[in-house]
Amino acid sequence: MNRRKKITQLLKAHAKKASAKLAPKNKDKYISKADRLKLAAESSQDLAASPES
């Protein structure tokens, strides 16, 4: 691999990383299964408690 090819390869890699950083993040934050179960339990308790009030 010659020097020019190495340099262009590095520049392309840096540009790709920079554009990936600027790209919009459309994935939701990961919530573990245990946390999802806790949230579901809390919401069900809130629903059960609200009619009594």
Instruction: Per residue of the chain (53 residues), give pLDDT as tens.
Output: 799 999 999 999 999 999 999 988 888 889 999 999 999 999 888 777 766 55
- Say what the pTM is: 0.45
CA 1 to chain centroid, in Å, comes to 37
DSSP state of 53: -
The per-residue pLDDT for 51 is 60
The per-residue pLDDT for 35 is 95
Query: CA 51 to CA 44: how far, in whole Å?
Result: 12
The per-residue pLDDT for 48 is 75
